[in-house]
Amino acid sequence: DVCEPRFVAVQPRKATFSDGIALANDGCRLSYHLSGDPAAQDKVLMVMGFACCRNYWKPQVTGSAGLAGSSMQVCTFDNRGVGLSDRPLGSYTTVRLARDCISIMEHLG
């Protein structure tokens, strides 16, 4: 019957995880973590507030309804001055932090 709903079993994709370093345009090393489907067309960059490290995103990324189990790839990273990223001297302006996000996205392609 046309009105009967049809359910298709979807095989969950196996999430993969990797860590890396991206260089900002001023040479600062930015530590990042990738999770999810590396072949996914949808990519998400999770930007944490300034003073928190990327580990604060774990519940959203790997929790029971986490993004890593979906059909996307997720990148979390440590802002400069936080976690495993470099701690260069100087001001950490919003513009500087936005440029760091661009550097990570360019590094990841």
Beta bridge partners of 34: 18, 75
Q: What is the pLDDT of residue 108?
A: 92
Taking the C-alpha atoms of residue 96 and residue 22, their distance in angstroms, rounded to an integer, is 15
Which of the 8 DSSP states describes residue 91? -
Question: Nearest-CA neighbor of 76 among 40, 47, 105, 41?
Answer: 47
Q: For 39-57, how does the pLDDT look when each residue is reduced to its tens digit (9 = 90+)?
A: 888 899 999 987 889 999 9
Q: Amino acid letter at 22?
A: A
Model confidence at 5, in pLDDT bands (50, 70, 90)?
very low
